[in-house]
Amino acid sequence: MSKPLQQLQERLGKITDLERISRLLSWDQQTMMPPAGSDHRADHLATLRRAAHELLIADETGRLLDELRPLEESLEPDSDDAALIRLTRREYEKAVRVPTDLRAEMAHASAQARPAWVKAKAESNFAIFLPALERNFELRQRYVACFEEVEEPYDILLDDFEPYTTTAEVREIFAEVKAGLVPLIGELRDVELNDSFLHGDFPVERQRRVTNDVVELFGFRPGTWRLDPTEHPFASGTGVDDVRITTHYDPETINSLFSTMHEYGHGLYSHQLPRELERLPTGNACSLGIHESQSRLWENLVGRSPRFWSFFYPRLQETFPEQLGAVEIEQFVAGINVVKPSLIRIKADEVTYGMHIILRFELEQDLVNGRVELRDLPRVWNERMQDYLGVEVPDDAHGVLQDTHWASGLIGYFPTYLLGSVMSVQIWEQVVEDIPDLEDQVERGEFGGLRDWLREHVHAYGRKFSPQETLERATGSRIDAKPYLAYLRAKYGAGVAA
Amino acid sequence: MSKPLQQLQERLGKITDLERISRLLSWDQQTMMPPAGSDHRADHLATLRRAAHELLIADETGRLLDELRPLEESLEPDSDDAALIRLTRREYEKAVRVPTDLRAEMAHASAQARPAWVKAKAESNFAIFLPALERNFELRQRYVACFEEVEEPYDILLDDFEPYTTTAEVREIFAEVKAGLVPLIGELRDVELNDSFLHGDFPVERQRRVTNDVVELFGFRPGTWRLDPTEHPFASGTGVDDVRITTHYDPETINSLFSTMHEYGHGLYSHQLPRELERLPTGNACSLGIHESQSRLWENLVGRSPRFWSFFYPRLQETFPEQLGAVEIEQFVAGINVVKPSLIRIKADEVTYGMHIILRFELEQDLVNGRVELRDLPRVWNERMQDYLGVEVPDDAHGVLQDTHWASGLIGYFPTYLLGSVMSVQIWEQVVEDIPDLEDQVERGEFGGLRDWLREHVHAYGRKFSPQETLERATGSRIDAKPYLAYLRAKYGAGVAA
């Protein structure tokens, strides 16, 4: 190996380590940390962020990248080394514009905003959160200002979550999705389906057992994962052999099952990233949109399908006999697929989910562009929920305070959820084409074929290519709303699910 | 504040952060991490260790220390700033001798040795652990070789755990302790006391509740702590507001209670360190010996006293009525104070405990000086256990593999346990003198007075002074084996405890 390439890899290895350590600290903060530890944690995350940033923007990194230019040009563009140099150059050129102090402040402010958000949500009082939110937005404005002026400042934020993707491209896809969703939601608005059996008494201890069973069934290598309760489900981990997923247990519903499947999809992606690229940026996930395509695929295409439940429903009935013993499988599958405009994004059905995202995508742009003031957020939020979904927001906890993202400084993140949902259907259709008996496998509770397909066609690329190139390698096409809309219409258009 | 002092403090803040992050990673590894994550963890710990070491040994640190010499000389030696410059200079001068690669390798090898030790202990097979142990010792030999040649290489290892303390000083104290213990153990060897009620059926769920109650009773500020199960109990945390203690639950004994009290003592020390020195090395604990004086004080002076149990025994009887309902408090207190030579250090009574440490202290020196080969450890261990305690070691799991320290690369650490035990009695006697009704407070389940005394007279000094100076400030004397031996003889010399 060339000496500069080796030096670059060593440097990137340290940066990757520091980033993964930050992930562990965030996981810990959301699952294990005594609440009073927030201030320590803010210092620690800022120090890690600073150290990683300094390693990336060091003159030495620039010098190595310059030295590696001839090598890069001589390599096959698809090769691991060419992809590594290309990706590092892109990340270096972005990072070098951002002062280390700003990076550290962004990490520090986000870690401190979290407890303010937790308190504000618990008391359903937006005012408690507003100062921390203003700080996070102000820091993002300063971050945007580090870059050359662009027509859409939101592009800069979006690129950190969905690289090589512009606001205009997202707007175009979302317009098409919205045009499909609005009439579909209208058609379904008056359909009455009984899902009352999904609300009642679902003891948390039993939910814990059954969510663990689902993870075991979907499958990770032994000794590589854990599942913990948290307020707001997420997936994390420190590498392919240390995957940590979380879920939220509500004693009155079985939503934990679907959030577990969702986070399993994220976790499997992390778990099947290319081991040979561990400790390199190319060994990371491609983008949050691609990540979300994986979580949505397991949650919706597998986890809300009649085939899956024909395998797993007896186990669920055994676990909750009082609630589900007398509910037929057809009723149950219809119940978990009821479409009904509602308040909470993470509990939304597949059809209305997109509208929650489109609302946030538009609102974030309005905030970044100064068309909406942060202090007016609750009012604007509530008006748009009325416009887009026809629902009345009773309080901030069920409105603008429901998500943790802005508290964590994640602005520009939300659109990746809907991009992922759209791509999940394109990927699923390709899997079905490549594995003709896939649905029979699902019905037998066998997931090895699906896992292997995803590893080979999606996960193995890591972050070597752009999201759209990765999708094209997996499915032959770039992002396309049509299969997604066709899937929704086929599944729900008759007005009855399943 | 002087500019160089501020720059030094910023640098030390980052180093402190990185060290505390390492502590979190180690805590996570021993309580939460999926077992397959060990290799990632080794990389991550090595990267953190490397980053902290590089910050400490940077030319800039030396330059700042040089610049600060006049300021240091002008300051009151007891002041925070003088202590900070003095301590940093000492740590810098030690660290600058050690190559970063070696530091990183030491961290990496320790993290990798841990799973080898876990496996070796589980299978009671020393051979599984030997290669990792050889690696750890070889790296420590290389570490020792970084320093100027000294008569006792063990001094260099010891100094990392008990600074300003020589092997010769420890040897002298231990000789005095040994001379007191050997006849006392001899006298007690044939005393038969019934403690059979301490072995039986103690359901883990109930142990969890009662250990939590003990921690609540002894007291931390709310929202600042957690207690988790682990294989080998320890205390950790990331700062004064994030204290993490661990215990081991054995369904057949209530040892978890005493290890919880022990780790509480460590945790309280971390919890009451001076907040104004947070993120500075002077805000750390003074030494492991002083640390152990705190854990031993809570475990033994409080936790094995009749006064404590006259308050807490009813609660314990309620928790385990089948086992303890018919056992009188006098029997119980005698039972938890039975002296009996045994195999496992962390389960040893107060009297024989010292011999476990003296054995390890001598053996470590023999290993470091090449008088004993690592591959002969099981044989030599078993022979010495026979000599020192008259017990037959049935297998390596109950012998040389029982402790995690050598797996973690902690060589030179063990003697601090006995130093701490000795000092705990000196400190206790001073508390009793200063708070005449202390024992009545304990009997009423009130611990605020004791906590406050410890904060003011021990914890508040942080790491500003050497262990012996700290002890002298707390008690008026340097380390002295006499009070310890007098205490043991008074408590146990009659042959009956309590």
Name the closest residue on chain B to residue A245, using Cα atoms: B34
pLDDT category of residue B125 using cuts at 50, 70 and 90 = very high
Q: What is the mean pLDDT of residues A410-425?
A: 98
Q: pLDDT tens digit string along A264-277?
A: 999 999 999 999 99
Give the pLDDT mean for A127-141.
Answer: 96
Using CB atoms, which residue from A17, A50, A226 is nearest to B34? A226
* B235 part of contact set with chain A, CB < 8 Å: no
pLDDT given for residue B54 in this prediction: 94
* Closest in A17, A47, A223 to B44, CB measured: A17
**Mean pLDDT across the stretch B399-420?**
96
B40 touches chain A (CB under 8 A): yes
Question: A54 CB near a chain B CB, below 8 Å?
Answer: no
Q: What is the 3-state secondary structure (H, E, C) of chain B?
A: CCHHHHHHHHHHHHHHHHHHHHHHHHHHHHHCCCHHHHHHHHHHHHHHHHHHHHHHHCHHHHHHHHHCHHHHHHCCCCCHHHHHHHHHHHHHHHHCCCCHHHHHHHHHHHHHHHHHHHHHHHHCCHHHHHHHHHHHHHHHHHHHCCCCCCCCCHHHHHHCCCCCCCHHHHHHHHHHHHHHHHHHHHHHCCCCCCCHHHCCCCCHHHHHHHHHHHHHHHCCCCCCEEEEECCCCCEEEEECCEEEEEECCCCCCCHHHHHHHHHHHHHHHHHCCCHHHCCCHHHCCCCHHHHHHHHHHHHHHHCCCHHHHHHHHHHHHHHCHHHHCCCCHHHHHHHCCCCCCCCCHHHCCHHHHHHHHHHHHHHHHHHHCCCCCHHHHHHHHHHHHHHHHCCCCCCHHHCCCCCCCCCCCCCCCCHHHHHHHHHHHHHHHHHHHHCCCHHHHHHCCCCHHHHHHHHHHCHHHCCCCCHHHHHHHHHCCCCCHHHHHHHHHHHHCCCCCC
Enzyme catalytic residues of A: 263
Give per-residue pLDDT as tens, B319-364: 999 999 999 999 999 999 999 999 999 889 999 999 999 999 999 9
Among B72, B91, B105, B263, the active-site one is B263
Percent of chain B with pLDDT over 90: 93
Q: Model confidence over B172-188: pLDDT tens digits? A: 999 999 999 999 999 99
Q: What is the pLDDT of residue B256?
A: 97
Contact A25 B21 (CB under 8 A): yes
Mean pLDDT over B38-56 rounds to 94
pLDDT at residue B449, as a whole number: 98
Q: pLDDT digits over B431-445, tens only?
A: 999 999 999 999 999
Output the pLDDT for position A143.
97
- Give the pLDDT score at A496: 46
Asked whether the beta carbons of residue A34 and residue B279 sit closer than 8 angstroms, the reply is no
B167-492, which class in CATH? Answer: mainly alpha
Q: A34: distance to nearest CA of chain B, Å?
A: 5
Q: What is the pLDDT of residue B231?
A: 86
pLDDT of residue A194: 85
Query: CB contact, 8 Å: A478 with chain B?
Result: no
List pLDDT tens digits, range A72-100: 999 999 999 999 999 999 999 999 999 99
What is the model's pLDDT at position B494?
Answer: 67
Q: What is the mean pLDDT of residues B2-28?
A: 96
How many angstroms separate the CA of residue B336 from the nearest CA in chain A?
Answer: 32
Q: Is B19 on the interface with A (CB under 8 A)?
A: no
Over residues A308-331, the pLDDT tens digits come to 999 999 999 999 999 999 999 999
**ipTM for the assembly:** 0.92
Which chain A residue's Cα is nearest to B240?
A: A37
Q: State whether B242 and A279 contact (CB < 8 Å).
A: no
Per-residue pLDDT at B497 exceeds 80: no
pLDDT at A357 over 50: yes
CA closest to B32 among chain A residues: A226
Average pLDDT over residues B146-170: 95
Among the listed ranges A119-123, A240-244, A407-411, A491-495, which one has the minimum average pLDDT value? A491-495
pLDDT score, position B193: 83
Active site residue B263: yes
**Res. A193: pLDDT tops 90:** no
List the 242-271 stretch of A: residues with Cβ below 8 A of B: 242-244
Contact status of A224 with chain B (Cβ, < 8 Å): yes
CATH 1.10.1370.30 in chain A: give the residue spans. 167-492
Q: Is A35 on the interface with B (CB under 8 A)?
A: yes
Lowest mean pLDDT among A82-86, A489-493, B63-67, B213-217: A489-493
What is the arithmetic mean of pLDDT over A224-238? 95
Rounded percentage of chain A residues whose pLDDT exceeds 70: 99
Nearest to A29 by CA among A13, A14, A7, A45: A45
Contact B25 A21 (CB under 8 A): yes
All residues of chain B having their beta carbon less than 8 Å from the beta carbon of residue A115 are none
Is the predicted pLDDT of residue A498 greater than 80, yes or no? no
